[in-house]
Amino acid sequence: MTKNQALEILFEKIESLHAIRSSMAIIHWDAATSGVPEKSLPSRGKTMSWLSGEQFKRFISKETLEAVETLQGFDNELSDLEKAMIREIGREYKKQQSVPLEELQKYRALVTQSESIWEKARENNDFEMMLPYYEQIFDYQRRLCDWYGFTNHPYDALLDDYEKGANVEMLDRFFKAVGENISPIIKDIIKNNIQPQEVSGSFDIAKQRELIPWLTDFIGYDRSRGKVGEVEHPFCTSVSINDVRITTKYHQDNLLSALYSIIHESGHAIYEQNMDEQLQKYNLCDCASMGMHESQSRFYENIIGRNPAFAAILLPKLQEKFDYFTGWNEDMLYRAINIAKPSLIRIEADELTYSLHILIRYELEKALISGETKVKDLPELWADKYEEVLGIRPKTYAEGVLQDVHWSCGYVGYFPSYAVGTAYGVQMLNTISKTIDINKAIGDCDISPITNWLKENIHRPGATLLPDDLLKQATQESFNPIYYVNYLKDKFTKLYLN
């Protein structure tokens, strides 16, 4: 096989795999946003199972392996994009070929049904409804660790799926630093009993929806290449760089929830929309890692969306829609969008305590995968962890173990990416601030200088670099959580303890 023949084989496979992934993304979007018939669950499960099988068979073939091995012999003649393509395909091939096809198809059918069952279980506060699904999902994930292989902890195999290069040793250090530095601040805030005015009341959902076009335009989400849907658990999905869809959930009694989920998901979408389109040919039009993806959503949500300059431009928009904000000033709103206190729901958590919610999930997943914990014991263990770490205890499954959609989708190992990604974003902020006045850009209602930096340094490279290499190229430094710890200390000490 010649070099050109090998390249052509891979390019053809990438094109067909992209078509399959796009189809699966649309099916998932439809199921999540359209209220599909309950009786369609089995047939949709079969469809997703078949598509997963086709994806697997087209990728895991003798032809793919021969093409990769051929090109590895031409390393000196390959372009940087071709080398990155071979690295990523080789990495993924090694993992996927270890998984029995029939197991993958059964699992895909399972999680297709599981997500819909989760919505009902959460609504009905019924953990027993989800228990058999969770047991099967975690059983599969434990076997997946064995199929993939690992050196130290089995959880390492799953973590690497979402955050390339991450492992338990690295994350134990990270979460130890987070816990040791954040917990004292929270205790001091509680001790001082400082309580800014919260945004509370009843806010017409139709008027909330009217704010979304302005908000997405300000953030930079291109709605001509996207769509905003409504779901139980907000998410972003990418069909292609010209079809990136986001969602939110409106609450009449929680105005800020929908607004900040839109900012968060827009951050995800902007990353997808700003990737270099030519990378699709090389299967590199993808995030460097889920942590890098979360760095963008959390950057827009917190660093931009919870900035005092943003509070100043958001307030008049809220006052136009809701009489509730008559008499409010910018400082009141800034403090309201930065309230720091222990809470039960991760997606509603404040910036200071958010990573503690992730720490809890990390510890539980690690124990479930190692076999130290059984799925049936999750509700009690979850409640115990919240009481231990945040000093509060859920009273229902819906505000406890059933609050997140991730496990029902089979995303085991994903949660740590939220916290690591948040820290990535603050490290980027440290670099951006050296050349760009963040507050001025937000106050001028033109954050394009910030987005342009992110576009050139984080978005456009896609998956051409591993996450730590990308961060090092962008910030001139490998991952360093000290920026995140110092950022939180500085911001919340000024807000609450000075």
What is the gyration radius of the CA atoms in the chain, in angstroms? 23
Cβ atoms of 168 and 422 within 8 Å: the answer is no
User: Could you say which of 88, 265, 294, 351 is catalytic?
Assistant: 265
- β-strand partners of 230: 248
- Mark whether 265 is an active-site residue: yes
How far is the first Cα of the chain from the last one, in angstroms, to the nearest whole number? Answer: 69
d(CA 445, CA 314): 10
Question: Do the bridges between strand 243-248 and strand 226-230 make them parallel or antiparallel, or are there none, so unpaired?
Answer: parallel
d(CA 481, CA 416): 14
Residue for token pair 């001509």: 224
Which residue numbers are catalytic? 265
